[in-house]
A and B are shown apart, each in its own frame.
Chain A
Amino acid sequence: MATTYRTCPRTGLQFDLDADKLMRWNAVAGVLWLLVGGITALLVILTRWPAIKLLPADQFYLILTAHGIDMLILWIIFFEMAVLYFASSTLLRCRLATPKLAWVQFWLMVVGGIMTNVAIFQGESSVMFTSYVPMQAAPHFYLGIILFAVGALIGCGVFFGTLVVAKREKTYTGSIPLVTFGAMTAAIIAVFTIASGAAILIPTFAWSMGWIKEIDAQLYRMVWWALGHSSQQINVAAHVSIWYLVAAVAFGAKPLSEKVSRFAFLLYILFLQLASAHHLLSDPGMSAEWKVLNTSYFMYFAVLASMIHGFTVPGAIEAAQRKKGFTNGLFEWLRKAPWGNPVFSGMFISLVGFGFIGGISGVVLGTEQINMLMHNTFYVPGHFHATVVVGTTLAFMAITYLLVPTLFKREMMFPKLCQIQPYLYGLSMIVLSLVMMGAGTLGVSRRHWDMAFSGAPFQYEWPGAAYLMMGLTGIFGVIAVIGGGLWIFLVVWSLLFGKKLDGGATHDKPVPIPDQSAAAAASGTGSEEHVSVPGTVVLAMTLLVCFVLYYFVNWKYLSEVWGLS
């Protein structure tokens, strides 16, 4: 098969030209959906800000449905397709398997995404991201998601095919690189996720067409969350892979132990998809034993995996920095890190925000009894904005600062703005998550148009602190939208008007990777020699102390509510 490779002169990364184009188109499609998601985010924020309350109720629920679908599914999965092609074809210096099928992936996802959005904006499908039955959307709402999912499944197939091609054509020796390994876990979880999605969305589509009479509301919730939560596990596996990628590219870091990092990825496959149970902790249909089993045995092994990555990623960076001579004190390695490089700063804020805010709140929220304090409150979106936005989206934004020059062959414009963007977006999103969780702790509902309950037969006055938290949600939400908008502006502007860079020489075969390049760091395997990482130990212990304190504070809160048995 005739394939052409281009070697990026700045990073040494080699791009199969088919994969190169597919990555660019998928990434751009993702960014365009992020734009739609960002506009809807602003409208949601300005409506939930009690002092502004911009939209009427019907439009608010419509826009909120669009925000969930466009961000959680369309933006993230389009970008993940680019990540999968990068992690397979580029890191293994291998041709992409079946590029024609990969274009089917792209166009199915485009058509599906547009179809679902058309359904939403026609106004008959304001059913939220979760679309719990028996609330019904228009048939093309479900059909669009199904087509999109089939596209994503094809993308996973192309990824696995490319791994096979690389193995057969011997484009690498030994194990596949850690980043590719992480992407592989993401793709495996994606297959499980899409199968669950098919199991629930195809019957739901048939029900919306009138072919099936009824779908059990509890069964729907159980199977739907095997899609809804597992898809977040794809994100976790993908963004943790990107953390390792950035650590390798920015520092030449090697994992402390390959075995530990890879085993932690495997734990995600084995246990994390089962954690979808923690969405059903306050549901009637499952027993307490089922809930405890699924939130402890299964979920905690996945939590263990994230705690391991939370140690090994900064540990790898610390080890690399110490080798370079930043050995003074506990934290010289961190102080002297390239904080002005948005690839690193974005990645590190993603790591810290995901671990400290998203991770801790997620485990507390996923505790069987404590869940009753927070189920369906504003705490829930607070939690997942720390995981999906600070964790995944920010990691994707950070790696894009690397991809624009190497993949799109354009220089990033406005470097000063690029430097501040991860801070503006990441830090405001962290504060946003915290104040949302604060409002949720006071009981404020998620997916709710009016804190004043206009039209209700009675009154209930939320505590003043709840209004304060919602006001802060408004303010920091707007700042976060500005930070996200800035990223879209910088990327789109650079793609259109940035200085064109040399794409590098092309060959009809992969060529050896230049030593000491980013490509060598990202595609090599092997553990760091066992360097002591005391700074990382201190960071990890700080996380644990926060975790333990916050966990028990919530048991204290729980002990004060009405008796339940």
Chain B
Amino acid sequence: MSAILPPSERLWWKQPIAGQEWAWIGIAFVWAMIMFVMMVYWHINGKQNLSNEVYKTTTEMFQAKTDAFVKENTIRTETEQQIPVAKANANNEAFLLARLWSWYPILELEAGKTYKIHLSSVDYNHGFSLQPTNINIQVIPGYEHVVKMTPTKAGTYAIVCNEFCGIGHHSMLGRIYVK
């Protein structure tokens, strides 16, 4: 196999393929196809698919819509900062705004009901990370993402920001109550 002697077969595309390699390629290919089908299957029969409903927006527009929503649907305020706690409106829609460094407002939902949560940011990228159930969605300024969510269990949930958004990132903690 020395390079001073002409190799037996000089051109790689003319060389034969071993049977065991063919078998492995076949298995790996079938597995890739199964993984492909799983994603499509989950869109048909799974209950956890990220919504495709998205609108281009501006930070001003989204701020105004959220303010209007909060004004109409606030049921009480909490903590020293008087953070409003809002219920979903009559159409089961709610707004959740991400900003430096808070989630606004606090939402109060009911288990088993399906809500349309309008999600956007008015400054940087933020990360919606719902804990402890562990759902993670990117929140991008200029895009209003309408995510349909169905809470399964009553409890107090935290929204951690998991996209780096500056020095106060670690203090950006929101809340969702599920009754």
Binds B, one of A186-194, A368-376, A400-408, A501-509: A368-376
Determine, out of A22-30, A34-42, A303-311, the stretch whose residues face the partner at the interface.
A303-311
Encode contact with A along B9-49: 1 for CB under 8 Å, 0 otherwise: 11111011111110011011101110110111011001111
Give the residues from 256 to 289 in chain A that come closer than 8 angstroms, CB to CB, to chain B.
256-260, 262, 280-285, 287-288
In the assembled complex, the Cα of A311 lies from the Cα of B139 at a distance in Å of: 40
Contact of A515 among B4, B11, B79, B170 (CB under 8 A): B4
Contacting A58 at CB < 8 Å: which of B1, B20, B127, B167?
Answer: B167
Cβ proximity bits A289-309 to B, threshold 8 Å, 1 near / 0 not: 000100111001101100110
Nearest chain A CB to B50 CB, angstrom units: 6
Q: A458-B158, A524-B1, A565-B47 are in contact. Are A377 and B145 (CB under 8 A)?
A: no
Inter-chain CA distance A371–B129, complex, in Å, is 12
CB proximity of A263 to chain B, nearest CB, Å: 9
Residues of A close to B32: CB separation below 8 A? 296, 300-301, 303-304
Closest to B117 in A: A564
Complex Cα–Cα for A516 and B3 (A): 10
Nearest CB on A from B36, distance (A)? 4
Is the Cβ of A377 less than 8 Å from the Cβ of B125?
no
Q: A218-B143, A283-B138, A544-B27 are in contact. Are A563 and B169 (CB under 8 A)?
A: no
Is A455 part of the binding interface, using a Cβ–Cβ cutoff of 8 Å?
yes
Closest to B43 in A: A288
A561 located at the interface, meaning its Cβ lies under 8 Å from any Cβ of chain B in the complex: yes
B175 at the interface (CB under 8 A from A): yes
User: A350 → chain B, closest Cβ, in Å?
Assistant: 20
A472-513 interface (Cβ within 8 A of B): 512-513
Q: Is A470 an interface residue (CB 8 A)?
A: no
A374, A513, A525 — which one has the most chain B CB atoms within 10 A of its CB?
A525
- Interface segment among A139-147, A171-179, A338-346: the answer is A171-179
Contact A520:B48 (CB < 8 A) given known A259-B15, A530-B19:
no
**Residue contact A516 to B2, C-beta cutoff 8 Å:** yes
- Cβ B3 vs Cβ A533 within 8 A: no
- Expressed in whole angstroms, the Cα–Cα distance for A315 and B16 within the complex equals 16
Select the residue from A254, A536, A548, A563 with max chain B CB neighbours within 10 A. Answer: A563
Closest to A561 in B: B133
**Inter-subunit contact B9/A454 (CB<8 Å):** no
Contact between A217 and B140, CB atoms less than 8 A apart: yes
A-chain residues with CB within 8 Å of residue B19 when the two chains form the complex: 530
B142 touches A216 (CB 8 A): yes
Contact of B162 among A377, A516, A537 (CB under 8 A): A377
Which A residues are in CB contact (< 8 Å) with B46? 369, 558-559
Give the Cβ gap from B88 to chain A, nearest Cβ, in Å.
15
A196 within 8 Å of B (CB atoms): no
- Report if A135-B165 is in contact (Cβ < 8 Å); known contacts: A460-B173, A525-B7, A530-B19: yes
Does the CB pair A562–B135 fall under 8 Å?
yes
Scan residues 512-535 of chain A and give those whose CB is less than 8 A from a CB of chain B.
512-513, 515-516, 519-521, 523-527, 530, 532-533
Give the distance in Å from the alpha carbon of A117 to the alpha carbon of B171 in the complex: 28
Q: Decide: B141 and A450 in contact? CB cutoff 8 A.
A: no
Tally of chain B residues near chain A (CB < 8 A): 93
How far is A210 from B6 in the complex, measured between Cα atoms in Å?
Answer: 61
Contact A372 B16 (CB under 8 A): no
Whether, in the assembled complex, B63 has its beta carbon less than 8 Å from a beta carbon of chain A, the answer is: no
Number of interface residues of A (CB under 8 A): 106
Would you give the shortest CB distance from B87 to chain A, in whole angstroms? 18
Fill in one digit per residue for A441-471: 1 if any B CB lies within 8 Å of its CB, else 0.
1110111111001111111101100000000
* Least Cβ–Cβ distance between B175 and chain A, in angstroms: 5
Contact check: which of A132, A257, A460 meets B124 at CB < 8 Å?
A132
Taking a contact as CB atoms under 8 Å apart, the answer to whether A456 and B171 are in contact is yes
A246, CB-defined interface residue at 8 Å: no
Query: A134-B123, A544-B31 known; A561 and B48 CB under 8 Å?
Result: yes
Please tell me if the beta carbons of A175 and B125 are within 8 angstroms of each other in the complex: no
Q: How many angstroms from the CA of A178 to the CA of B168 in the assembled complex?
A: 50
A563: which B residues are within 8 A, CB to CB?
A: 47-48, 114, 148-150, 152
- CB A9 to nearest CB in B, in angstroms, measures 17
Q: Is the CB of B36 within 8 A of A443?
A: no
The one of B79, B80, B127, B148 that contacts A565, using a Cβ cutoff of 8 Å: B148
Interface residues of A in 358-376 (CB under 8 A from B): 363, 367-369, 371-376
User: In the assembly, what is the distance between CA of A462 and CA of B158, in Å?
Assistant: 10
Interface string of A209-221 (1 = CB under 8 A from B): 0000000111001
The residue that A453 contacts in the complex, of B28, B166, B171, with Cβ under 8 A, is: B171
Contact flags B100-132 to A (C-beta < 8 A → 1, else 0): 001000000000001000010001110101111
Are B17 and A460 in touch, CB under 8 angstroms?
no
State whether A61 touches B3 (Cβ < 8 A): no
CB distance from A444 to the nearest CB of B (A): 9
Q: Is B129 touching A376 in the complex (CB atoms < 8 A)?
A: yes
CB distance from A266 to the nearest CB of B (A): 11
With A257-B16, A304-B32, A460-B173 as given contacts, are A564 and B148 in contact (CB-CB < 8 Å)? yes
- The residue from B20, B136, B170 contacting A372, defined by CB atoms under 8 A apart: B136
Question: A555 near B: Cβ within 8 Å?
Answer: yes
State whether the Cβ of B91 lies closer than 8 Å to any Cβ in chain A: no
| B142 and A217 contacting across the interface, CB-CB below 8 Å | yes
Contact A537 B124 (CB under 8 A): no
16 cross-chain CB contacts under 8 A: A218-B142, A257-B16, A284-B137, A288-B50, A308-B28, A311-B21, A369-B48, A443-B131, A448-B170, A449-B170, A459-B173, A527-B15, A527-B18, A559-B46, A563-B152, A565-B150
Known: A448-B164, A563-B148. 5 other contacts (CB 8 A): A57-B167, A300-B32, A315-B20, A457-B79, A564-B147
Chain B residues within CB distance 8 Å of chain A = 1-4, 6-13, 15-21, 24-25, 27-29, 31-33, 35-36, 38-40, 42-43, 46-52, 54, 79-81, 83, 102, 114, 119, 123-125, 127, 129-145, 147-152, 158, 160-175
Q: Which 5 A-B pairs have the closest CB atoms?
A: A174-B10, A563-B150, A460-B158, A284-B145, A300-B32
